[in-house]
Amino acid sequence: MIYGGCNCGNGHLTILPTGDVYACRRMQDSRVGNVFADRLADLWTGRLEAYRDYDKFAKCSKCKLKAWCRGCPAVAASCSGGDFYAADPEYWAESVEGLLAD
């Protein structure tokens, strides 16, 4: 069952003991601020917005399952030289085309 998809910067964030705030615990370069220097509300409505632009995702933006899946941007970034919006190499929807038919 597909349930909610990636929630990076959308349904969760990571705060380290140092106060550093990350959009995704799997992506070292997703640091968006520090709770000792920035208000969480400002980070949530500001810098984290970039992680919610699902229409920029290479394959996910065109997929009918975008609202439920969205792949894993951390995996995509690690396999593409750091491009958060690259295609997830573990993309599986093409193998179940019947689910995607109109």
Q: What tens digit of pLDDT does each residue of 41-82 get?
A: 999 999 998 888 878 887 777 787 777 776 788 888 888 888
Instruction: Provide the mean pLDDT of the chain.
Output: 81
Spell out the alpha helix ranges (H) of the chain.
40-45, 73-79, 97-100
Residues paired with residue 58 on neighbouring β-strands, in sequence order? none
Q: Which two tokens stand for residue 87?
A: 């295609």
For residue 34, the surrounding DSSP H or E stretch is: strand 31-34
**What's residue 32's pLDDT?**
95
- Structure token pair of residue 20: 């550093």
Task: Provide the percentage of residues in the chain whose pLDDT is more than 70.
Answer: 83
Helix (H, G, I), strand (E, B) or coil at 93: helix
Q: Is pLDDT of 17 > 70?
A: yes
Which pLDDT does position 71 carry in this prediction? Answer: 75
pLDDT at 95: 60
* pLDDT at site 1: 45
